Amino acid sequence: MKDVMKIKIYYQKYRRLIKALIWVVVSIALLQVVYFIFDHYETIRIERELEKQGEVKMPEPVMLFNLPIDSFTVAPGQVRSGQNLSDILLSKGISMTTIDKISKQSILTFDVRKMKVNNSYYFFMNKKIASKAEYFIYEINPVDYVVYKLSDSLRIYKEKKPMITQIKTASGVITSSLWNTMKAQALDPALAMDLSDIYAWSIDFFGLKKGDKFRVVYEENFVFGKSIGIGRIFAAQFVHANEDFYAFRFTQKNEDSYFDDKGKSLIKAFLKAPLKFSRISSVFSLSRFHPVLKIYRPHFGVDYAAPTGTPVHAIGSGVIIDKGYQPTGGGNYLKIKHDNSAYVTSYMHLSRFAGGISRGVRVKQGQEIGYVGATGLASGPHLDFRVFLNGTPIDPLKMKAPPAEPIAGKDMKSYTVHRDSLMTKLVAIKNF
């Protein structure tokens, strides 16, 4: 009790001094906080001032073929007709000794004999020694390129440009031809070619009618924002003569193929036509006016008008049973007996035959066998195409070929799910 009284006495006596000490301690603490805040913001201010004065990060170097182009003088070029690698390298002072080494070492990476006319190449020249080539780059295709490191020790390697694939859709109504419809919509003409390949067994693209229409889901590939071509076609619908033709890409037995909405294969024993993108100039007839002989007589085939040199393809696999020249008839012609069937096809008025084509040779479906011409009795370049069943001529446009293997029973469930997913994407396409 006495101790408590003493504390109270002392507090009363030194109250002002104690309050003064507490105020001093608090003031010092507040000053330290203010100093910390000021110092922090001053540091930020100084850093910003330094950035304004030029102490900033250097920009990333501009790269071409993974090489900093600012470090070189880049000299582009294109392979000219008759030009080879030696000619190109000699033009930049590369020695024959180095060229010989390149030819020998390049075999494992890229066969220099396969350089193509109009393909691009680039020399990366030393900036200080203008005549010294440091690198030579050759573009094999829009994605792949080969690098020849010429300075120091020779090094040859292949690289790829970064490619971006986008899923796209397209649709259109035929007014004259599939090709013209694609062109009018600024679509890649390769899309028309790919569609014609997919439907080669089911749609005769020479017989398209005004008002036929299509829609398609496909890939388009880009390199540095520039389109380099069409990739896979996933789904398509073609309405031809008021009939729907569907195509869905599906993997069966580790192979990609196309099937219709019921799971039947689009691949059949015979193609619909032996050449692409032409027009029918004469049909199968028992009485046709011959343009050269000026008489009426049977025409047991279909004439496809096309420019001289247009490739002609075998509509099915088989063996060439006849080949020759008829000066007063079919000109250059050949006949194919098709596998496991009673069908024989005939191709006439060819300008020439494809390489390796002779009697007894086996050909595959879609293989080039010759080229459109006007040999024999012909008023202009065209293909006279005929089909015989057990020796009797039949109308090629009415021939129906059996399909290939359909979707297997064990795969039908997964195919149905896959088909329905793609069908939803097709239905969502506008302007159809």
Kindly tell me if the per-residue pLDDT of 398 is higher than 70.
Answer: yes
> Which residues pair with residue 319 across a beta bridge?
337, 362
Q: Confidence band (pLDDT; 50, 70, 90) for 35?
A: low
Residue 215 belongs to a domain with what CATH number?
Answer: 3.10.450.350
Span 5-11, average pLDDT = 56
How far is it, in rounded angstroms, from Cα 251 to Cα 230? 19
> Which has the higher per-residue pLDDT, 81 or 44?
81
> Which has the higher per-residue pLDDT, 218 or 31?
218
How many domains does one find in the chain? Answer: 3
Are 364 and 332 part of one and the same domain? Answer: yes
Are 151 and 170 part of one and the same domain? Answer: no
61-65, 378-382, 394-398, 419-423 — most confident range: 419-423
Are 287 and 346 part of one and the same domain? Answer: yes
Question: Phi and psi (nearest 5°) for 316?
Answer: -155, 165
Are 385 and 369 part of one and the same domain? Answer: yes
Q: Confidence band (pLDDT; 50, 70, 90) for 292?
A: very low
Domain boundary pick from 92, 127, 160: 160
Are 285 and 345 part of one and the same domain? Answer: yes
Span 372-386, average pLDDT = 89
How far is it, in rounded angstroms, from Cα 233 to Cα 195? 8
Residue 204 lies in a domain: yes
Query: What is the predicted pLDDT for the residue at 140?
Result: 95
pLDDT in tens, 331-346: 999 999 998 678 999 9
Residue 116 lies in a domain: yes
Residue 428 lies in a domain: no
Are 297 and 311 part of one and the same domain? Answer: yes
Kindly tell me if the per-residue pLDDT of 370 is higher than 90.
Answer: yes
Are 156 and 178 part of one and the same domain? Answer: no
User: Three-state SS across 377-415?
Assistant: CCCCCEEEEEEEECCEEECHHHCCCCECCCCCHHHHHHH
Are 294 and 360 part of one and the same domain? Answer: yes
Span 81-94, average pLDDT = 92
Kindly tell me if the per-residue pLDDT of 283 is higher than 90.
Answer: no
Are 283 and 390 part of one and the same domain? Answer: yes
Of all residues in the chain, the percent with pLDDT exceeding 70 is: 80
Are 125 and 236 part of one and the same domain? Answer: no
Give the chain's length: 432
Q: Confidence band (pLDDT; 50, 70, 90) for 286?
A: very low
Sign of the torsion angle spanned by Cα atoms 346, 352, 357, 359: positive
Residue 362 lies in a domain: yes
- Domain carrying residue 150: 63-160
Are 296 and 352 part of one and the same domain? Answer: yes
Maximum C-alpha span of the chain: 149
